[in-house]
């Protein structure tokens, strides 16, 4: 039977229309961080975003990826890993964005919060990390190995996860731009150290921020494919 693309488009629009977005606050170790939770009907799972250096839940790049995931049937949680005061400190010192232990702890808190909020639904949880947020995602995946079903890194620094790399059990996809040679080399080295099913995808013609036309869409498609494969499992 011939496939009608209009049906898929209509279904995607319907899902987007029915999606519900909530501003949420997640408490971790007596610190509250803000997030935007989008729930879609019959979600195949929820993807938590770990933003990169100097970024936040308002990152336009991650919001675009999140939109693709929502239309593919995944809920998303875009989370500030730092408080407003911490963000101001980081803008001056640039120190907290590299505090992988702190960022990983915040992600673990978000994972626990989601598990409690959707208790009884057995809704799979996945992580999407960018830049230093990718390292935090891998650390959190080790800490909550029983809850994290898969990880995707966009232009990430998985090397900053250190010894945790070999203990990662969640299937991990590393996505790097071909025009980002230093980060690409770091990801190639990290790929061999990951203890899980892992893959490296290089996006042709893309730089570190995937600003080139169509580059971010390729990242989103790769993420949808990876999460669809592993969260269903």
Question: Could you tell me if residue 133 is inside a domain?
Answer: yes
Q: How many Å apart are CA 25 and CA 20, to the nearest integer?
A: 16
Q: How many Å apart are CA 201 and CA 214, to the nearest integer?
A: 15
Segment 110-139 shows an average pLDDT of 90
Do 20 and 39 touch, CB atoms closer than 8 A? yes
**Domain coverage including residue 142:** 19-232
Beta strands of 60-218 (E only): which ranges? 75-79, 125-130, 148-154, 172-177, 198-203
Question: Could you tell me if residue 201 is inside a domain?
Answer: yes
Residues whose CB is less than 8 angstroms from the CB of residue 14 and which lie 6 or more positions away in sequence, other chains included: none
Do 208 and 181 touch, CB atoms closer than 8 A? no
Question: Could you tell me if residue 8 is inside a domain?
Answer: no
- Mean pLDDT of all residues belonging to the chain: 86
- The confidence band for 158, taking pLDDT boundaries of 50, 70 and 90, is very high
pLDDT in tens, 47-90: 999 986 656 676 778 899 999 999 999 999 998 887 777 777 66
From the CA atom positions of the chain, what is the Rg in Å? 17
CATH of the domain at 29: 3.40.50.1820
Question: Could you tell me if residue 6 is inside a domain?
Answer: no
- The confidence band for 99, taking pLDDT boundaries of 50, 70 and 90, is confident
Q: What is the pTM of this model?
A: 0.87
Beta strands of the chain (E only): which ranges? 20-28, 31-39, 46-50, 75-79, 125-130, 148-154, 172-177, 198-203
Q: How far is CA 49 from CA 9, 43, 111, 137, 189, in A?
A: 25, 16, 11, 8, 23
Residues whose CB is less than 8 angstroms from the CB of residue 208 and which lie 6 or more positions away in sequence, other chains included: 155, 177, 179, 180, 183
**Residue located via tokens 């892992």:** 198
Question: Could you tell me if residue 228 is inside a domain?
Answer: yes
SS3 121: coil
Q: How many Å apart are CA 33 and CA 80, to the nearest integer?
A: 6
- The confidence band for 216, taking pLDDT boundaries of 50, 70 and 90, is very high
Question: Could you tell me if residue 81 is inside a domain?
Answer: yes
Question: Could you tell me if residue 3 is inside a domain?
Answer: no
Do 53 and 24 touch, CB atoms closer than 8 A? no
Name the domain count of the chain. 1
Question: Could you tell me if residue 9 is inside a domain?
Answer: no
């Amino acid at each position: 039977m011939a496939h009608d693309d209009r049906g898929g488009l209509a279904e995607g629009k319907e899902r987007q229309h029915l999606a519900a977005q909530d501003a949420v606050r997640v408490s971790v170790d007596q610190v509250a961080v803000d997030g935007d939770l989008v729930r879609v009907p019959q979600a195949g799972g929820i993807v938590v975003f770990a933003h990169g250096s100097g970024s936040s839940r308002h990152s336009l790049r991650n919001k675009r990826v999140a939109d693709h995931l929502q239309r593919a049937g995944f809920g998303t949680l875009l989370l500030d890993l730092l408080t407003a005061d911490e963000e101001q400190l980081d803008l001056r010192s640039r120190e907290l964005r590299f505090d992988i232990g702190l960022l990983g702890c915040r992600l673990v808190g978000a994972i626990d919060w989601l598990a409690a909020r959707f208790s009884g639904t057995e809704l799979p949880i996945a992580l999407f990390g960018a830049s230093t947020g990718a390292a935090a995602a891998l650390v959190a995946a080790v800490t909550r190995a029983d809850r994290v079903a898969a990880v995707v890194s966009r232009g990430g620094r998985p090397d900053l996860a250190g010894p945790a790399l070999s203990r990662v059990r969640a299937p991990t996809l590393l996505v790097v731009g071909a025009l980002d040679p230093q980060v690409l080399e770091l990801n190639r080295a990290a790929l061999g150290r990951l203890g899980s099913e892992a893959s490296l995808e290089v996006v042709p013609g893309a730089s570190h921020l995937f600003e080139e036309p169509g580059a971010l869409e390729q990242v989103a498609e790769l993420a949808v494919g990876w999460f669809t494969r592993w969260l269903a499992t």
